[in-house]
Amino acid sequence: MSFTRFLAVAHKEVVQILRDTRSLIIVVIMPVILVLLFGYGVNLDLKGLPVYVYDRDGSQQSQDLLKRFQASDYFHIVRVVNDYPALARALDGGDAKIGIVVPWDFSQRLHDGGPVQIQALVDGTDDNTANVAIGYAQAVVQGYSSDIQLDWLRSRGQLVQPAAVSVQTRTWYNEDLESSAFIVPGVLALVMSVIGAFLTSLTIAREWERGTMEQLISTPVTPLEIMLGKLVPYFTIGMFDVIVCALIAIYWFHVPFRGSFLTLLISSAMFMVVVLSLGFFISVIAKSQLAASQIALLVAFLPAFLLSGFLYSIEQMPIALQWITRILPARYYVSVLKKIFLKGTPTALLYADLVPLAVFTLVLALLATHSFHKRLA
């Protein structure tokens, strides 16, 4: 292998990147946009859910219950209506996610010590939001019910026995339960998929479409020198983008970083080799930039987005999909990212993710190396 020929091919690829405005935008701007977009735009924290109330009782007791909802960070009472049709219109129009109906005999039943039920009408078009809203509403009502029961017993001179069992919770790793701390680290996998698989999938295909592959074949440059010369610039750019995105996550979104920065760079380098090799292989077999970009989107970006555990927990997926994720390198890289950022897991305890990632790195690098040959057909 000639280092001079390798540098010549690498220089040619750098010039091509600088001349191609679209590639330059993807390389420089897209990573920052992705981090900001997912950091601000994708929020799994359900707070301030709009609530409409139909209080048929209008008593002090019903007002105390509604104040519990208003005091919660998860609910925001937007309006109090006077009939069911107004409540239905608010749910139909999307103005309310949940409607609370207090029965007309609410305070009387509380005074008598009988069972009391309030009605909660929940917008179920988004099942996740509906389930969370129901859980939050039940928690508010249960807290209010416990206080009412204690007051009722005390008012009648009955001794109140303290509960024998209680739960004291402490949240580790993501103490404030902010979704940005869960989402932003995984954006690095998306950034590298875009830089790696998507852009490098166009390298060889571009040479075929522009008719410059014949010139490369006629030169003494070896296939390995062509491959390395075309991939090293993207590897360098990709690692630079990883560092930039990590710094944005840490200092802009205040995502805790408790692990080793060296481990982050090593695992990122392995995953970058994986996606670069995959993109190069796609570029060789496609021979068309349009086909190559579509294949890269299908086999690299979408799996990294949907099946890597970036947004959706793998444990909650169907068993068949859980097994499919085992052959996706992005799964192991995203797992490493979250453990490094949030848990600060020592490198020695990351072998369950680093070993499969290293195997993928080796296999795909060999596949890319043997896929390209200097011939016209």
Q: Give me the half-sphere count of Cα atoms (radius 13 Å) on the Cβ side of residue 11.
A: 6
Q: What is the pLDDT of residues 327-346, one digit of tens each?
A: 999 999 999 999 999 999 99
Q: What is the pLDDT of residues 33-55, one digit of tens each?
A: 888 888 887 766 678 889 999 99
Mean pLDDT over residues 294-310, rounded?
84
pLDDT of amino acid 152: 63
Question: Is-contact 271 195, C-beta < 8 A?
Answer: no
pLDDT of amino acid 339: 93
Read off φ and ψ for residue 215, nearest 5 degrees.
-65, -40
**Residue 212 to residue 113: CA distance in whole angstroms:** 87
pLDDT of amino acid 54: 92
Beta bridge partners of 55: 102
pLDDT of amino acid 273: 92
pLDDT of amino acid 263: 94
Select the highest-mean-pLDDT range: 8-22, 121-135, 224-238, 245-259. 245-259
Check whether 224 has a pLDDT greater than 90: no
Mean pLDDT over residues 252-270, rounded?
92
Mean pLDDT over residues 292-321, rounded?
85
pLDDT of amino acid 156: 65
Check whether 376 has a pLDDT greater than 60: no
pLDDT of amino acid 27: 77
Check whether 270 has a pLDDT greater than 80: yes
Domains of the chain, first to last: 3-42+178-371 (no CATH), 49-155 (3.40.1710.10)
pLDDT of amino acid 243: 92
Check whether 228 has a pLDDT greater than 80: yes
Check whether 116 has a pLDDT greater than 90: no
The amino acid occupying position 333 is Y
Q: What is the pLDDT of residues 195-222, one digit of tens each?
A: 778 778 777 777 777 767 667 767 788 8
pLDDT of amino acid 39: 83
pLDDT of amino acid 374: 59
Check whether 166 has a pLDDT greater than 70: no
Residues 6+ apart with CB under 8 A from 234: 13, 195, 196, 199, 200, 276
Averaged pLDDT score across all residues of the chain: 83
Check whether 142 has a pLDDT greater than 80: yes
List the one residue out of 193, 192, 195, 197 whose CA is nearest residue 295: 197
Check whether 165 has a pLDDT greater than 70: no
Check whether 124 has a pLDDT greater than 60: yes
> For residue 168, is it left (φ>0), alpha (ψ between -120 and 50) or beta?
beta
pLDDT of amino acid 157: 64
Check whether 357 has a pLDDT greater than 70: yes
The amino acid occupying position 326 is R
